[in-house]
Every structure is written in C-alpha cells, then in structure tokens.
Structure 1
C-alpha cells in the first residue's frame, strides 16, 4: 500500500513541525542555562552592597525562622557574614558560597537552606516545571 503524494507531504510537514518544536525547546533550555549561569556569577555582587545585603540577609533569616517555627533553632552563615547575623559561632557555611544562611531546628534534623545559591536553584526549578 503506497502513500499518496498528499499523505507523504502531510507526514513531512508533521515531522518538520516536530523537529522545529524540539529545536525551539532545546534553544529555550540553552537560554535558561545561560541565564542561570549569569545569575550565579552576579550573586557575588549582591553581597558587596552592604546595605542591600543586610536587608536581604535579615529577610532570609526571618523567612527561615517562619518556615521552621521551632522553639529552638540554629542559624548558620558564612564566617564573613557573622557580624551581620551574630548567631552561631561554632560552625560556618563554606566560604565558596555567595552568601545567605541555613537554619536548623534544635536537634538539627530539619534544615532550611536560604543560601543565595539554594534560592537561585529554587527559581531554576520553578522555571523548569513551569514549561
């Protein structure tokens, strides 16, 4: 059973539309990755503006506290952020992260990660799932 010219043309158009859709999705994925990489590079600039970073850090701590709602909590930050946070003096976040805080309940079984990287990752996940 041979296909008619019209059927062949219809299948070709269908395949071309599929290929075009796949190419567009791949281009969007590449654009999103480039955008996220650029955003990660810009995180270090956020902490250089002391006033803006203090407001951001206060908000990250407060949000983490509200998320846990525990009677006893532990807040962890980078060592260089300690003067801004003034809480946990025993353990610090790694120096290679851009900034932010981690908040734990009293027995450290529950953690809220409010580092700048984790917030950016959350945005990236939301972008990925919204497609």
Structure 2
C-alpha cells in the first residue's frame, strides 16, 4: 500500500510538471488548426470569387452577344421597314404623277371639241390629216370615213388635197367617202382612211392623233411637269 501511495504521488508530480507543456502544445495545435482553417477558408473564398467572376463574365458575354444579335435584328427590321415605306411612298408619287398626266390628257380630249367649232382652223387641220393619210397609204384607191356632219368639209378638203398628192407622188388617186359607215358622233373630229380592200387603216381622228402625240411626247411632258429624273443616266 505504501508503494501505491508513492506511485500516485510520483504520477501527480510528473503530471504537474508536464501539464504546462501539454497545455502549450494543445494551444499550439489549436492555433495551427485555426490558421489552417483560415487558410482553407481564404483559399476557398478566393476560388469562389474566381469562379463567380468567371461565371459572371461568361454570362455577361452571353448577354452582350444576345443584345448585339437583337440589336442587329432590330436594325435589319428597321432597314426593311424603311425600304418598304420608301417604296410605298415612291409608288404613291408615281401614281399621283400618272393621275395628273391622265387628268391633263382628259382635259385635252375635252378641248378637242373646240377645234371643230372653228371652221377655218378645222378645215386647215382636215387638209393636213387627209394628205398625211394619202402619203401613208400610197394606194391608188382609198376610202374615207368621217363624222356625218363633216362630209361637206371632207369633200372640199379632198378636192384641194388630190392635186397636191398627185404632184408629189406622180400618181393618180381615187377617193371615196363611205356614206354608209360614219364615225361616232362622240368623236371630236378627224377621219379614218382605208386602202382599197379595207385591210389597212390610217386612223387620223383627233383623239387618235392626241393619243399618238401623248405617247411620243410623254418623256418631254414628264420633264415639263416634274423636272428631269436625277437618277436617269441615259437619255433617248
């Protein structure tokens, strides 16, 4: 029993002597553990921030690409809409110009009736229409159709025109007025001339002459009304 007491006493003295060192070692180990934990936390936070930055940058690039694509699409749609609006406006301008020319020609047709109301002017015009028809056909026999009210004037014009034609072409000409088929009274005046078998016709009514003149002079009419086309490079 005396030995047990000594052992306990020795053990107590030994533990008492080593206790500060153990405590110091435990503190050191705890400090090391804390530092290691802080290092791990710092490294983890750094890696987290790096990964977060990478993800943010990646998403930012995706968002920028998305909006750039959308911006290009919107710009393309804007160009298409602008082109459509310009084409629509151009078509409206062209239609307005055509309507103006059509109104002008209709007004000119209405004024044609005034020519026949002036006997001296109409008679001189009839001479020219007859001679032109004779020269175009160059046939020995022709038939003339006119309005019923113009028969006497046409007969007088034929008598004046035949000698002029014969002297010019050195050929005889037989002219007949069709008394069975008159031109429509709705026409403003003029004549139609047919060759002997009626297969060739020269239309020299006032309306047909106006239409022919309008076709031939349409470029000049457009320039006079609307000015020269700045986009036109070549002139006929």
TM-score under structure 2 normalisation?
0.50
> Gapped runs of 5+ residues in structure 1?
none
Q: Does 1:22 align with 2:91?
A: yes
Contact 2:144–2:178 (CA<8 Å) still a contact in 1? no
Change (3 A) 1:11 1:89: closer
Q: Which has the larger radius of gyration?
A: 2
> Gapped runs of 5+ residues in structure 2?
1-68, 156-175, 223-236
**Aligned counterparts of 1:71 and 1:3: Cα–Cα separation in 2:** 78
Alignment of 1:1-131 (within 5 A): 2=70, 4=72, 5-86=74-155, 88=177, 90-91=179-180, 92-126=182-216, 127=218
Measured after TM superposition, the shift of residue 117 of structure 1 is 1.4
Q: Helix, strand or coil for the counterpart of 1:113?
A: strand
Measured after TM superposition, the shift of residue 89 of structure 1 is 5.5
Measured after TM superposition, the shift of residue 66 of structure 1 is 1.1
- Specify which structure has the bigger relative contact order, considering alpha-carbon pairs within 8 angstroms and separated by 6 or more residues: 1
Which shifted more, 83-92 or 57-66? 83-92
Q: Helix, strand or coil for the counterpart of 2:133?
A: helix
Q: Helix, strand or coil for the counterpart of 2:177?
A: coil
Structure 1 match to 2:15: none
**Aligned counterparts of 1:121 and 1:56: Cα–Cα separation in 2:** 17
- Write out the 4+ residue segments of structure 1 that deviate beyond 3 Å after TM superposition: 123-128
**Aligned counterparts of 1:118 and 1:44: Cα–Cα separation in 2:** 14
What is the aligned-residue RMSD (CA, Å)? Answer: 2.3
**Aligned counterparts of 1:62 and 1:13: Cα–Cα separation in 2:** 56
Question: Which one has the bigger helix percentage?
Answer: 2
